[in-house]
Structures are given as C-alpha cells and as structure tokens.
Amino acid sequence: MNVSTAILERRAEKMFDPAFTIRDDQVGELLEKALLSPTAFNIQNWRIIRVKDAALRQKIREVAWNQDKVTDASLLLVLCADLNAWVKEPARYWSGAPQMYQDILIPAIDAYYRDKPQVQRDEAMRSCGLLAMSIMLLAQEQGWHSCPMDGFDFDAVGKLINLPDDHVISMMLAVGRRTQDSFPRTGKLPLNELCFEDTF
C-alpha cells in the first residue's frame, strides 16, 4: 500500500472486533517503524503505554466516555511524553553524528527547553501527533484500522497508568479490525479556507 492510499483509506473507526488479535511481533515491528518518526533535536520524548490487561482496559473505558474501542480494539496505546527528555543524557540523541553537529546541537537542546514549560509541553504534543499518524498509517498498511482518542479524563487515565509527574498524556490510539464500514467523510473544509499564500 502506498502512502496516498493509506491516507485516503484511514478513518477514525468506531467499532472494533474484540476477537481480532495482533501478534506481539507485529506490534513490535509496527512500533519500531513508527518510532522512526521525527522529533525536534531527536529527543524522542514520546513514551508509549500498551494496555494489555483487560481489567485495566475496562477501568480506562469507564473514564473514556464508555467508548467500546477502549476494550474492544486489539491494541490500546496511550501516547505519553516525558517533559524532561531534553535533559536526560541528551548526548545520546546525537551519538554517532559528526562531532561538529554534536558540539552545536547538544548545548542547543538545553537552551531551547530549560525553564520553558510551555515549550516542553508543546514539544510533547508535536512529537506524539507525528507518532500517532505514523502508527495509524502503518496500521492501515497492514489492513488494520485505528482511532485516535482524546475523549477521556486525562487525570484519571494518568492515575490508572501510573503516569510519572514529569510526563503528560497526548492521546490514546485504538488499533484493530473494524466491524462496520465507516460512514462517508463529513464536513471537510475546502482547501482555500485552510491554506493561504505567504501571510494570513
């Protein structure tokens, strides 16, 4: 499947087949590829919780608008980010790069994020957004389906997954096999309302 087809066919699916399973090695392969998505300064600030435990899924569902997909999808991923990834041995993000780049970029990471909580949080959401799209398109390539979700109580899910204090949740992703065709796309705005030349 090429990228255009994956983009055209991906939809936010509502209902997933609870009997459909995805093997661990398939999950690993998909995530390894998705984690090649870009992050600013290569800080790889995303962290992924794969929720396998059925009882935990049920508890999450109860704080996620009772959405069926939370329990029924083959995979439930909570995409999180470490707000302090930038300060955790940043040299490793550039190990193997030409020394000239290391000398410039490693101090630049510190200057970009230190004492800037809004920038740290923005970066978390940017990174997870890119990761989410990669996961959804890779799932599509496999013939699976997906749905991104922010319809849940973030604090409650954070407690359920033991989210560390310096981490945030960006969204959840359900991945699996849909049980019904999605309805036609709705309300897509025209290009000229969304895209401008040079300035607003």
Ligand X SMILES: Cc1cc2nc3c(=O)[nH]c(=O)nc-3n(C[C@H](O)[C@H](O)[C@H](O)COP(=O)(O)O)c2cc1C
Catalog residues that contact ligand X under the rule CB under 6 A: 11-12, 14, 67, 147-151, 171, 182, 185
Least distance between ligand X and beta carbon 166 (Å): 22
Locate 199 and state its tokens: 């300035």
Least distance between ligand X and beta carbon 133 (Å): 9
Closest to ligand X by CB, 10 vs 167, is 10
Least distance between ligand X and beta carbon 178 (Å): 11
Q: H helices of the chain, where? A: 3-9, 24-34, 54-62, 68-72, 99-113, 117-141, 154-160, 191-194
How many whole angstroms separate alpha carbon 2 and alpha carbon 85? Answer: 33
Residue number closest to ligand X, CB atom: 151
Residues 6+ apart with CB under 8 A from 168: 80, 81, 83, 121, 124
Closest to ligand X by CB, 38 vs 151, is 151
Least distance between ligand X and beta carbon 94 (Å): 30
Question: What is the SS3 assignment for 131?
Answer: helix
Closest to ligand X by CB, 67 vs 134, is 67
